[in-house]
Structure 1
Amino acid sequence: MPRHILDESRIHPAVREAVAQNHRDIVEEVSAAVDAHDIVVVGMAQNPSPKKARKLLDAAGLKYQYLEYGSYFNTWRRRNALKLWTGWPTFPMVFVKRQLVGGASDLEKLVASGELKKLLGRG
C-alpha cells in the first residue's frame, strides 16, 4: 500500500524550497550510507532499541554501518526529517540491501526466521 504523502502541487510555491531543503543534509547522509552498505542502523544515544539491533547483528556476525544522531535531549528536529523521509516513526531505522526493514523487533524477527540471511543473499 503506498504511503499517503502531500502532493507537491498542494504545497504553495513560496514554501516548496523550504520543505524540500528541511534538514536535507541528514537525509542525504543516511541515503548515501544505505546505498554504500548492506546493512545500516540509524539510531540515537540513550535509546536501548538501537543498541538491541546492533547486538543482534553482532551476534549474527554481520557487518553494518551505524549512524547516531543526538539523544532524547537534542537533535530531535533533525531526526524528524528522517522520520518524514522514511515514514518510520521510531529509532532505530534498519536498512538491509537499501530497503527499510523496520526497527529492532522487526530485525529480531528477520534474524529468527532466517529471512535476514535471504535478504543478504546468504541463505
Structure 2
Amino acid sequence: MRPILSSDAIHPAIGETVSTYHSNVVQEVIQAAAANDVVVVGMKQNPFVKKARKTLQQAGVQFTYLEYGSYTSQWHKRLALKMWSGWATFPMIFVDQTLIGGSDELQALLKNPDENLKSLSRV
C-alpha cells in the first residue's frame, strides 16, 4: 500500500484547503457508488473510458457513468478524484463501492470466473 501523508503532517493553515479540494465532486462519486452497483468515472475523448463502457455494455452489465471534462477541461475535478482514490488514470470503475481499477482491470475481472463480483453478472 502506498504511503499517504498523515493529517498530522499537514500544516493547520492549509488543512481545510486540502480536505475540501473539490469535495463536492468526491461526494458525488461516493454517492453514485453507494446508489449503484457499477459506476464508471471518466472523461471525454479518453479511449480507455470508451473501451470500459463498451465492455460493460457488451457484457450486459448496467452501470452509471459520471463524466468530468476532457483533456483540457475540468482537470481540477479529476485531480481531486485521483487524490482521493489513489488511482491515477481514467476510467475509475467501482463495483459494489469498491474501486476495481480501470479498463484493463475490468477486462481481467470479467475473464476470471473465480472473482466474486455479483454486480458484474449479466442482467
TM-score, scaled relative to structure 1: 0.93
TM-score, scaled relative to structure 2: 0.93
Q: Which runs of 4+ in 1 moved over 4 A?
A: none
Deviation at 1:114, TM superposition (A): 2.5
Q: Which residue of 2 aligns with 1:24?
A: 23
Q: For 2:104 and 2:88, locate their aligned partners in 1 and report how far apart those are by CA, in whole Å.
A: 14
Q: Which residue of 2 aligns with 1:13?
A: 12
Describe the superposition over 1:42-62 as per-residue Cα deviations: whole angstroms up to 9, x where unpaired.
000000111111111101101
Q: Percent of aligned pairs with the same residue?
A: 50
What count of residue pairs does the alignment treat as equivalent?
Answer: 121
Q: For 2:59 and 2:99, locate their aligned partners in 1 and report how far apart those are by CA, in whole Å.
A: 19
Q: How well do the aligned residues superpose, as a CA RMSD in angstroms?
A: 1.5
Q: Would you say 1:96 and 2:88 are equivalent positions?
A: no
| Unaligned stretches of 5+ residues in structure 2 | none
Deviation at 1:78, TM superposition (A): 1.0
Describe the superposition over 1:15-38 as per-residue Cα deviations: whole angstroms up to 9, x where unpaired.
111111110010000010011111
Secondary structure of the structure 1 residue equivalent to 2:40: strand
Q: Which residue of 2 aligns with 1:120?
A: 118
Q: Which residue of 2 aligns with 1:108?
A: 107
Q: For 2:27 and 2:118, locate their aligned partners in 1 and report how far apart those are by CA, in whole Å.
A: 23
Secondary structure of the structure 2 residue equivalent to 1:90: coil
